[in-house]
Amino acid sequence: MINIFDEAGIKSPDMSIISDEFMAEVRGMEHKNLAVELLQKLLKDEIKTSSRTNIVQSRKLADLLEDALRRYRNQVIGVTAILEELLNMAKDTKAAQARGEALKLEPYELAFYDALAQNQSAQDVMGVDKLRDLAIVLCDRIRKNASIDWNLKESVRARMKVAVKRLLRQYGYPPDMEALATELVLDQAKVFTEFEVTTNHSR
């Protein structure tokens, strides 16, 4: 793997290297199985990175990658097909990273937006703008109230859960999906606390 990246002149491989030229170069590699390994490494690194910011995005990519690799190992699809699937995943993931700019959301605000927008009925009822506003308020509320001892005190999670439910109802989030959305938002809040609040506190 290291030799492949070195030959391509890539010192710190991540999703930012994905371009039409890079994709063409990968498709043109003589050893397709090595190209598959290269893309698999890129995507797994992206999953690890995004899991520290956006759990919805990282879980979705992880599921897609696992499914594709399982079909490849079971010889349901061949090396050319898996290569195209991995290239499409890489391209879609890079495009997804631009959504925050389009929505004018910071990375963690986008993560809360994704957690809320997982529910299609919420998208239909509330629309993008209202979901966006709710995501910003949620992120701000959690930033102000999150504690670095999230894992130690159940009371912290309980208090946050009440605050999240209150905000969802205030913004008209569909009641039938409130419980699922609350749990997903709390999972995202835990990630935010672990990687943002704790890091800043230790500086």
Instruction: State the Cα–Cα distance between residues 94 and 87, nearest whole angstrom.
Output: 11
Residue-level pLDDT, tens digit, the chain, 203 residues: 445 556 555 555 556 566 777 778 778 877 788 888 888 888 998 899 888 889 999 999 999 999 999 999 999 999 989 998 988 888 888 787 788 888 999 989 999 999 999 888 889 999 999 999 999 999 998 887 765 555 556 777 788 888 899 999 999 999 888 898 999 888 888 888 776 654 554 44
Q: What is the pLDDT of residue 201?
A: 45
Write the DSSP symbol of residue 105: -
Q: What is the pLDDT of residue 163?
A: 87
pTM of the predicted structure, to 2 decimals: 0.80
What Rg value do the Cα atoms of the chain yield, rounded? 19
Single out the residue of 94, 86, 83, 71 nearest to residue 28, CA to CA: 83
Q: What is the pLDDT of residue 64?
A: 94
Handedness of CA 142, 146, 152, 157 (dihedral sign): negative
Q: What is the pLDDT of residue 38?
A: 83
CB distance 94 to 18 below 8 Å: yes
